[in-house]
Amino acid sequence: MKLLILYGTTEGQTRKIAYFMEAILQNAGHQVTIADTTAEPPAPEEYDAVIIGSSIHMHKYQSAVKHYIRKHVPELNQMPGAFFSVSLAAASGLEDEHREVQKITTDFLEQTGCKPLMTSQIAGALKYTEYDYFKRLVMKMISKKEGGATDTSKDYEYTHWDEETKFINEFVKKTSQKP
């Protein structure tokens, strides 16, 4: 199968997840193209399926992802697709946080008109060592409120790689069952 993986990222965790998915798909014998939506990504028409991922910041997805979907929504809705959302809220133990992030995803897909076969909420990372002073302070306060990591001398990755493996394998299975 010929797959296109597109992503939008601020701090790099969504890119890391996209490349992880690419490796799984390539190891399974699929042909994969991966592209950042800010770098003139290819149109979806020449692919059998498309996977799109974006991080959430301030309750919004990456604008380049939004523009890509709106530009190609008729084609995207004619093929199997998956959308993955990356956020720290997905790592939270609070059910309200999970509902909120799911609502952000649902609203985004409705606004763009995109109808993927599958969606996934993926836990992101706290990259304290890459933040400027102000962002580090804000993220530490948020993390403390949520009962998360507050040692700003190191980074914390909350992505559950086994779950992402299951997600991508389930997507391939569903896609190959499509007529």
Tens of pLDDT, residues 86-114 = 998 888 777 888 899 999 999 999 999 99
Residue 5 burial (CB < 10 Å; 0-12/13-18/19+)? buried
pLDDT (tens digit, 9 = 90+) per residue, 51-63?
Answer: 999 999 888 999 9
Q: What ranges do the domains of the chain cover?
A: 2-124+159-177, 127-158
- Cβ partners under 8 Å of residue 131, min gap 6: 139
pTM for this model (two decimals):
0.92
**36 φψ region: left (φ > 0), alpha (ψ -120 to 50), beta (else):** beta
pLDDT confidence of residue 142: 81
Both tokens of residue 24?
Answer: 């799984």
Hey, what CATH class is 2-124+159-177 in?
alpha beta
In this prediction, residue 178 has a pLDDT band, given cuts at 50, 70 and 90, of low
